[in-house]
Amino acid sequence: MLDVEHDSSAGSRHVRFEPDDRPPLALTAGMGLQFAILTIAGIVLTPAIIIRAADGSDSYLMWAVFAAAAVSGISTIMQAVRFGRIGTGYVLLMGTSGAFIAVCVTALVQGGPSLLATLVVASSLFQFLLAARLSLFRRLLTPTVAGTVLMLIAVTVMPLVFDMVAASPEGSSEWSGPTSTLATLIVIVAIALKSSGSLRMWAPVIGVVAGSITAALFGLYDIDRVAEAPWIGLPDAGWPGLDLSFGSTFWSLLPAFILVTLIGAIETLGDSVAIQRVSWRKPRAVDYRVVQGAVAADGAGNLLSGLAGTVPNTTYSNSVSITELTGVASRRVGVAIGASFIVMALVPKFLALVLAVPDAVVAAYVTVLMAMLFVVGMRIVVEEASDYRKGLIAGVSFWIGVGFQNGVIFPEYLEGFAGGLLENGMTAGGLAAIALTVFMEATQARRQRLRADLAITELPQIREFLNGVATSHGWGMPMSLRLNAVAEETLLTLLDSEDPDRGDVGRSLRITASKQDGRAVLEFVAAARGENIEDRLALLDEPAAARPVERDVSLRLLRHFATSVVHQQYHELEIVTVHVNPPQRPDAD
């Protein structure tokens, strides 16, 4: 999973309201409405893009947009309120996912809305599995895999967008579409490049408005749709139901939906980590139980989306930037945002106002969205590419995806293979990245493991194990002693030296030792407990009047011997990863 360490600059000193605070009602309602207005265009336009590209019916379009806005509201409230293990307790906006555009268009073309609904429901179940056992996938769903697939999403979607730009409606000027597209692009890009703060967040909305005005001059804006839409009400029809035949088309498309769902979950992981960083005045260690809650709420939102017959949703990264900009992180604002989405869903005239936006303007909006998505993926890959192995995985997988997307890799042999599974570049490249990651993990230097009880009486066995590790890697006695010291202090910290009889008896412990880049990496895995070691380490330099000084001894020794300490807490277990540099760097590996 993401290796996140404390950064003193990560905590925001400008946070006005933390998650547990209660801002004034007027402020809460006003910010909720503002955030919703800022985001609703993307929520509505994504299903519109998908259904228009697949030549779907107008009744289904109206239903899908209504359902998308309503489900986004419900799932945003889920994230803020936190129902059991579902949700984060933070302000995380939920909305339709642009990552699903290509696969959703394919599902609609090949099987219609009912097949799409079934695929969304089926793929959402994997998110619940991922949330429940997130710790098991931490080495597989890596940032390298996520970044590669994000770049390939743009590769698969942009051909559809270019078709929308090139096609001017019948009876209109051949320049109407390109001119409207260009006007939208110029306004969005100019504002995004030259402005800062809140105005930059409004750039897409302002650009769509400017493009729509330009399109209206050519007679492209559907004013009649807006005029005929009622002010309040529900769509008359459009719910597609579920296709439970589970034919060959379902099974050929399911892997692609699962892959995009998992990639969306990785994006949710990043968003849920980032929102924790900007929501508190004082830096805190990342709580991966919150991350699990975010993924579970994401899965619940997708389950509701499938049952409602609309496109999947995911967390929106602008939740983090908006929270950081305003300094308001109260979960009550999240509830207000969700409520605003639901109200907007019940106002057909408002939805019609967005749906009347011409395809050429929508294409410009998606171009900017996909460009930013590509850059986000590229940035993730570049950050990971300091390890040439990860860079190689990303590069090879990306070009495999591009090749399959364009049908130039052994088309005579692979055409129609597995129902056309590999004809989607994102699926082919993503599977290649996962396969290469599995290969790299499987062929790494063998990790040495020890299973023991989480008890101080196990120290002799642990010392013997670590002495063997030091010997096998050619480290001398000084490194062996250092490893022993780190293991002892980590063990004491896990046991909590303040109260050794608090009930840890019976907990099992697994220690994994390996050598990476010349240093030792020790991983301690035990059943979940309570306090985060990183948070306790951060408190060492503060006045200790409120806690017994003896509690700090093991932590101070651990900080002295270890290069870094990362403590990941999940619902089912906790993992402490400690990097230890040798006292003297060995001459050879």
Per the domain annotation, does 431 fall within a domain? no
To the nearest 10°, report the CA torsion of 526, 527, 528, 529.
-80
- Confirm if 399 and 428 have CB atoms less than 8 A apart: no
Task: Verify that 457 and 557 share a domain, yes or no.
Answer: yes
Q: Which two tokens stand for residue 62?
A: 């109206």
Same domain assignment for residues 206 and 323 = yes
Total domains present in the chain = 2
Cβ-based neighbours of 207, under 8 Å, separated by 6 or more: 184, 185, 187, 188, 191, 364, 365, 368
What is the helix (H) or strand (E) element at residue 451, kind and residue range? strand 448-453
The reply to whether 31 and 172 lie within a common domain is yes
Is the domain of 91 the same as that of 221?
A: yes
What DSSP letter does each residue of 39-91 carry, written as one string? HHHHHHHHHHHHHHHTT--HHHHHHHHHHHHHHHHHHHHHHHH-BTTB--SS-
Q: Which two tokens stand for residue 491?
A: 């063990």
Coil, strand, or helix at residue 298? helix
Nearest to 319 by CA among 48, 143, 95, 147: 95
Residue 567: give its domain's CATH number: 3.30.565.10
Spatial CA neighbour of 377 closest among 317, 313, 421: 317
Residue 305, classed as helix, strand or coil, is helix
30 in the same domain as 163: yes
Spatial distance between the Cα atoms of 507 and 359, rounded to a whole number of angstroms: 59
Flag whether 556 is in a domain.
yes
Quote the tokens at residue 510.
Answer: 């697994």
Do 87 and 80 contact (CB within 8 A), yes or no? yes
8: Cβ contacts below 8 Å, ≥ 6 apart: 283
Residue 81 lies in a domain: yes
Dihedral, CA atoms, 9, 14, 18, 22, nearest 10 degrees? 180
Asked if 380 and 452 sit in the same domain, the reply is no
Query: Which pLDDT score is estimated for 126?
Result: 87
pLDDT of residue 481: 86
Q: Which of 355, 384, 413 is the last residue of a domain?
A: 384
Given a contact cutoff of 8 angstroms between Cβ atoms, the answer to whether 127 and 298 are in contact is yes
How confident is the chain (589 residues) per 10-residue block, as mean pLDDT? 37 66 82 76 81 82 88 91 86 82 85 90 88 77 74 76 66 72 84 70 76 79 72 76 84 83 75 76 75 89 90 79 70 89 84 75 77 73 72 86 77 55 70 84 78 85 88 85 84 62 62 82 77 49 47 62 76 82 60
Residue with tokens 């309120």: 81
* Domain C-terminal end among 333, 365, 384: 384
47: Cβ–Cβ under 8 A, 6 or more apart, which residues? 61, 64, 65, 68, 96, 310, 311
Angle between helices 348-355 and 331-345 (to 10 degrees): 80
CB neighbour list of residue 7: distance below 8 Å, 6 or more residues apart: 277, 283
Q: Residue 422's CB: how many other CB atoms inside 10 A?
A: 26
**4 in a structural domain:** no
Q: What is the 3-state secondary structure (H, E, C) of 463-488?
A: HHHHHHHHHHCCCCHHHHHHHHHHHH
**Does residue 419 fall inside a structural domain?**
no
Rounded (to 5) percent helix, strand, coil in the chain: 65, 10, 30
Q: What are phi and psi of 490, to 5 degrees?
A: -65, -45
| Residue 20, both tokens | 């547990």
Of 1, 2, 11, the residue nearest 535 (C-alpha): 11
Residues 365 and 462 in one domain: no
CA torsion through residues 353, 355, 360, 365, sign: positive
List Cα–Cα distances, 10 to 286, 362, 465, 533, in angstroms.
Answer: 11, 36, 38, 18
**Amino acid 13: pLDDT:** 46
Parent domain of 186: 25-227+264-384
> Residue 440: inside a domain, yes or no?
no
Q: Are 73 and 184 part of one and the same domain?
A: yes
Task: Clarify whether residues 340 and 460 are in a common domain.
Answer: no
- CA distances (Å), origin 529, targets 289, 478, 559, 575: 12, 32, 21, 11
Phi, psi of 344 (to 5 degrees): -65, -35
Which residue, 347, 364, 384, sits at the end of a domain?
A: 384
> Is position 548 within any domain?
yes
Structure tokens at 262: 């998992």
Give residue 77's pLDDT. 93
Same domain, 319 and 457: no
Burial profile 370-386: b = 16 or more Cβ within 10 angstroms, e = fewer? beebbebbbebbeebbe
Same domain? For 366 and 510 the reply is no
Cα separation of 548 and 551, whole Å?
6
Please say whether the beta carbons of 284 and 214 come within 8 A. Answer: no
Which residues, in sequence order, are CB contacts of 39 under 8 Å at separation 6+? Answer: 93, 95, 316, 318, 337
Smallest CA-to-CA distance from 422 within 253, 569, 564 is with 253
- Count the Cβ atoms, other than its own, within 10 Å of residue 426: 27
Are 452 and 557 in the same domain?
Answer: yes
Please tell me the distance from the alpha carbon of residue 511 to that of residue 523, in angstroms, as a whole number: 6
Q: Is residue 102 part of a domain?
A: yes
Count of residues in the chain: 589
Q: What is the pLDDT of residue 119?
A: 93
Q: What's the CA gap between 380 and 150, in Å, rounded?
A: 9
